[in-house]
Amino acid sequence: MEKLAYVIRQSDGVSGASLRDALIEKSAPRLRDAGAIHVQVNVNDEDVAQGEAIRIRMIEPPMRAMVTFWMEDADEREGCEAVLGEHALELHGWLVVESVPILNRTQLVPHGERTPGVSTIGLVTRRADVSYEKFIETWHGLHRRVAIETQSTFGYVRNEIVRSLTPGNPRFTALVEENFPIEALTDPWVFYDYARNDQEYQERLARMMDSCQRFLDLEYMESHPTSEYVLG
Protein backbone atom coordinates (compact mmCIF):
# COMPACT_ATOMS: atom_id res chain seq x y z
CA MET A 1 0.00 0.00 0.00
CA GLU A 2 1.15 3.53 -0.78
CA LYS A 3 -0.02 6.88 0.61
CA LEU A 4 -0.68 9.76 -1.78
CA ALA A 5 -1.12 13.41 -0.75
CA TYR A 6 -2.60 16.08 -3.01
CA VAL A 7 -2.61 19.83 -2.35
CA ILE A 8 -5.38 21.75 -4.07
CA ARG A 9 -4.62 25.38 -4.87
CA GLN A 10 -7.68 27.47 -5.62
CA SER A 11 -8.78 31.08 -5.68
CA ASP A 12 -9.97 32.76 -2.49
CA GLY A 13 -13.12 33.50 -4.44
CA VAL A 14 -14.21 29.86 -4.13
CA SER A 15 -15.81 29.42 -0.72
CA GLY A 16 -14.38 26.86 1.67
CA ALA A 17 -17.86 25.45 2.23
CA SER A 18 -18.46 24.79 -1.46
CA LEU A 19 -15.03 23.24 -1.89
CA ARG A 20 -15.51 21.07 1.20
CA ASP A 21 -18.92 19.85 0.09
CA ALA A 22 -17.72 19.08 -3.41
CA LEU A 23 -14.71 17.09 -2.20
CA ILE A 24 -16.63 15.13 0.45
CA GLU A 25 -19.93 14.54 -1.29
CA LYS A 26 -18.91 14.28 -4.94
CA SER A 27 -15.19 13.58 -5.20
CA ALA A 28 -14.68 11.06 -2.40
CA PRO A 29 -17.03 8.41 -3.88
CA ARG A 30 -15.34 8.80 -7.26
CA LEU A 31 -11.91 8.50 -5.66
CA ARG A 32 -12.97 5.21 -4.10
CA ASP A 33 -14.26 4.02 -7.46
CA ALA A 34 -10.82 4.82 -8.88
CA GLY A 35 -9.05 2.72 -6.25
CA ALA A 36 -8.52 5.09 -3.29
CA ILE A 37 -9.07 3.92 0.29
CA HIS A 38 -8.76 5.63 3.70
CA VAL A 39 -9.67 8.99 2.18
CA GLN A 40 -9.15 12.16 4.26
CA VAL A 41 -10.10 15.71 3.30
CA ASN A 42 -8.65 18.84 4.91
CA VAL A 43 -10.18 22.17 3.85
CA ASN A 44 -9.52 25.78 4.77
CA ASP A 45 -13.16 26.70 5.40
CA GLU A 46 -15.38 28.94 7.52
CA ASP A 47 -14.85 26.82 10.64
CA VAL A 48 -11.20 27.90 10.78
CA ALA A 49 -11.63 31.43 9.42
CA GLN A 50 -10.47 32.90 12.74
CA GLY A 51 -7.03 31.46 12.09
CA GLU A 52 -6.28 33.55 9.03
CA ALA A 53 -3.79 35.63 11.04
CA ILE A 54 -1.58 32.59 11.68
CA ARG A 55 -1.77 31.29 8.12
CA ILE A 56 1.50 31.33 6.17
CA ARG A 57 0.91 31.70 2.42
CA MET A 58 3.91 31.56 0.12
CA ILE A 59 2.62 30.39 -3.25
CA GLU A 60 -0.39 31.77 -5.11
CA PRO A 61 -3.06 30.69 -5.68
CA PRO A 62 -3.18 29.55 -2.06
CA MET A 63 -3.56 26.05 -0.74
CA ARG A 64 -7.27 25.57 -0.04
CA ALA A 65 -7.38 21.84 0.64
CA MET A 66 -5.34 18.69 1.01
CA VAL A 67 -6.67 15.24 0.15
CA THR A 68 -4.84 12.11 1.22
CA PHE A 69 -5.59 8.48 0.53
CA TRP A 70 -3.96 5.10 0.04
CA MET A 71 -3.72 2.95 -3.08
CA GLU A 72 -2.42 -0.52 -3.75
CA ASP A 73 -0.30 0.97 -6.55
CA ALA A 74 0.29 4.71 -6.96
CA ASP A 75 0.90 4.16 -10.67
CA GLU A 76 -2.87 3.65 -10.99
CA ARG A 77 -3.62 7.20 -9.79
CA GLU A 78 -4.68 8.78 -13.09
CA GLY A 79 -8.40 8.56 -12.33
CA CYS A 80 -7.94 10.06 -8.87
CA GLU A 81 -5.94 12.98 -10.21
CA ALA A 82 -8.61 13.68 -12.81
CA VAL A 83 -11.25 13.85 -10.06
CA LEU A 84 -9.22 16.22 -7.86
CA GLY A 85 -8.08 18.34 -10.79
CA GLU A 86 -11.67 19.42 -11.37
CA HIS A 87 -11.46 21.50 -8.18
CA ALA A 88 -7.96 22.94 -8.54
CA LEU A 89 -6.33 25.80 -10.37
CA GLU A 90 -3.13 23.95 -9.53
CA LEU A 91 -2.83 20.39 -8.23
CA HIS A 92 0.33 19.14 -6.49
CA GLY A 93 0.65 15.45 -5.69
CA TRP A 94 3.29 13.48 -3.82
CA LEU A 95 3.97 9.92 -2.78
CA VAL A 96 4.69 10.04 0.95
CA VAL A 97 5.75 7.84 3.84
CA GLU A 98 3.50 8.33 6.86
CA SER A 99 4.53 8.14 10.51
CA VAL A 100 2.29 9.04 13.45
CA PRO A 101 4.05 10.36 16.57
CA ILE A 102 0.66 11.18 18.14
CA LEU A 103 -2.40 9.17 17.13
CA ASN A 104 -5.66 11.01 17.79
CA ARG A 105 -7.29 8.91 20.51
CA THR A 106 -9.28 11.62 22.30
CA GLN A 107 -11.25 13.54 19.65
CA LEU A 108 -12.78 10.72 17.64
CA VAL A 109 -15.95 11.10 15.59
CA PRO A 110 -17.71 8.85 13.06
CA HIS A 111 -16.29 8.83 9.54
CA GLY A 112 -17.49 11.83 7.58
CA GLU A 113 -17.91 14.14 10.56
CA ARG A 114 -15.60 17.05 11.28
CA THR A 115 -12.75 16.26 13.67
CA PRO A 116 -13.00 18.68 16.63
CA GLY A 117 -10.47 21.49 16.78
CA VAL A 118 -8.23 22.61 13.94
CA SER A 119 -5.79 20.65 11.80
CA THR A 120 -2.81 22.67 10.63
CA ILE A 121 -1.13 21.54 7.41
CA GLY A 122 2.55 22.44 7.25
CA LEU A 123 4.48 22.25 3.97
CA VAL A 124 8.12 22.31 5.01
CA THR A 125 11.53 22.21 3.37
CA ARG A 126 14.91 20.94 4.49
CA ARG A 127 17.63 23.53 4.94
CA ALA A 128 20.10 23.43 2.05
CA ASP A 129 23.07 23.10 4.42
CA VAL A 130 21.54 20.16 6.29
CA SER A 131 22.01 16.67 4.86
CA TYR A 132 18.95 14.54 4.30
CA GLU A 133 20.20 12.07 6.92
CA LYS A 134 20.59 14.89 9.46
CA PHE A 135 17.16 16.26 8.52
CA ILE A 136 15.48 12.94 9.31
CA GLU A 137 17.52 12.44 12.49
CA THR A 138 16.56 15.90 13.79
CA TRP A 139 12.92 15.72 12.70
CA HIS A 140 12.29 12.29 14.16
CA GLY A 141 14.43 12.80 17.25
CA LEU A 142 14.96 16.19 18.86
CA HIS A 143 12.14 18.00 17.08
CA ARG A 144 9.61 15.28 17.86
CA ARG A 145 10.29 15.73 21.58
CA VAL A 146 10.14 19.51 21.37
CA ALA A 147 6.88 19.51 19.42
CA ILE A 148 5.19 17.10 21.81
CA GLU A 149 6.46 18.85 24.95
CA THR A 150 5.65 22.43 23.90
CA GLN A 151 2.39 22.23 21.93
CA SER A 152 -1.19 21.22 22.67
CA THR A 153 -1.41 18.73 19.81
CA PHE A 154 -3.75 15.76 20.12
CA GLY A 155 -2.82 14.40 16.68
CA TYR A 156 0.51 14.56 14.81
CA VAL A 157 1.17 12.95 11.41
CA ARG A 158 4.44 13.24 9.47
CA ASN A 159 4.40 12.73 5.70
CA GLU A 160 7.92 12.40 4.34
CA ILE A 161 7.90 13.10 0.60
CA VAL A 162 9.32 10.26 -1.48
CA ARG A 163 8.70 11.70 -4.96
CA SER A 164 6.47 14.05 -6.91
CA LEU A 165 3.46 12.63 -8.72
CA THR A 166 2.56 15.78 -10.65
CA PRO A 167 4.83 18.05 -12.74
CA GLY A 168 6.09 21.39 -11.50
CA ASN A 169 5.67 20.74 -7.79
CA PRO A 170 7.15 23.15 -5.22
CA ARG A 171 10.34 21.81 -3.63
CA PHE A 172 8.88 20.83 -0.27
CA THR A 173 10.43 17.98 1.73
CA ALA A 174 7.48 16.98 3.90
CA LEU A 175 3.84 17.62 4.75
CA VAL A 176 2.89 17.78 8.43
CA GLU A 177 -0.60 17.38 9.93
CA GLU A 178 -1.15 18.58 13.52
CA ASN A 179 -4.44 18.68 15.43
CA PHE A 180 -4.97 21.42 18.02
CA PRO A 181 -7.87 22.62 20.17
CA ILE A 182 -9.96 25.16 18.24
CA GLU A 183 -8.93 27.90 20.70
CA ALA A 184 -5.37 27.63 19.37
CA LEU A 185 -6.51 29.54 16.28
CA THR A 186 -6.58 32.78 18.22
CA ASP A 187 -4.82 32.10 21.53
CA PRO A 188 -1.07 31.39 21.30
CA TRP A 189 -1.04 30.35 24.96
CA VAL A 190 -3.41 27.50 24.06
CA PHE A 191 -1.33 26.64 20.99
CA TYR A 192 1.69 26.26 23.25
CA ASP A 193 0.08 23.73 25.55
CA TYR A 194 -1.99 26.10 27.68
CA ALA A 195 0.95 28.17 28.93
CA ARG A 196 0.19 29.57 32.38
CA ASN A 197 1.90 32.93 31.93
CA ASP A 198 3.77 34.98 29.35
CA GLN A 199 7.20 33.80 30.48
CA GLU A 200 6.23 30.16 30.03
CA TYR A 201 4.71 30.94 26.63
CA GLN A 202 7.85 32.77 25.48
CA GLU A 203 10.06 29.91 26.64
CA ARG A 204 8.02 27.34 24.73
CA LEU A 205 7.88 29.53 21.63
CA ALA A 206 11.65 30.06 21.71
CA ARG A 207 12.30 26.36 22.18
CA MET A 208 10.10 25.51 19.19
CA MET A 209 11.66 28.16 16.94
CA ASP A 210 15.19 27.08 17.88
CA SER A 211 14.29 23.50 17.02
CA CYS A 212 12.76 24.45 13.65
CA GLN A 213 15.76 26.56 12.68
CA ARG A 214 18.07 23.58 13.18
CA PHE A 215 16.78 21.75 10.09
CA LEU A 216 14.03 23.70 8.26
CA ASP A 217 14.21 26.47 5.65
CA LEU A 218 11.83 28.92 7.29
CA GLU A 219 11.81 31.09 4.15
CA TYR A 220 10.29 28.26 2.11
CA MET A 221 7.35 26.90 4.03
CA GLU A 222 3.59 27.20 4.33
CA SER A 223 1.11 26.57 7.12
CA HIS A 224 -2.66 26.46 6.72
CA PRO A 225 -5.42 25.96 9.31
CA THR A 226 -7.99 23.45 8.05
CA SER A 227 -11.02 21.44 9.04
CA GLU A 228 -10.30 17.71 8.98
CA TYR A 229 -12.71 15.08 7.69
CA VAL A 230 -11.66 11.45 7.94
CA LEU A 231 -13.90 9.68 5.44
CA GLY A 232 -12.46 6.19 5.55
CATH number of the domain to which 69 belongs = 3.30.70.100
Measure the CA–CA gap between 218 and 216, rounded to whole angstroms: 6
Q: What is the mean pLDDT of residues 53-82?
A: 97
Any bridge partners for residue 155, and if so which? Answer: 179
Q: Is the pLDDT of residue 53 over 90?
A: no
- Tell me how far apart the alpha carbons of residues 136 and 39 are, in angstroms, rounded to a whole number: 26
Q: Tell me: pLDDT of 62 over 90.
A: yes
Q: What percentage of the chain carries pLDDT values higher than 70? A: 100
Q: How many residues are recorded in the chain? A: 232
Structural domain harbouring 83: 2-230
Q: How many CA atoms lie within 13 A of 153 on its CB side?
A: 22
Instruction: Give me the chain's average pLDDT, please.
Output: 97
Q: Give the model confidence (pLDDT) of 134-174 as tens digits.
A: 999 999 999 999 999 999 999 999 999 999 999 999 999 99
* Domain count across the chain: 1
pTM equals 0.96
Q: How high is the pLDDT of residue 180?
A: 98
Specify which residues 90 forms β-bridges with: 9
Average pLDDT over residues 182-203: 96
**pLDDT of amino acid 36:** 98
Q: Is the pLDDT of residue 2 over 90?
A: yes
pLDDT band at 12, cuts 50/70/90?
very high
Torsion of CA 37, 232, 44, 156, to 10 degrees: -100
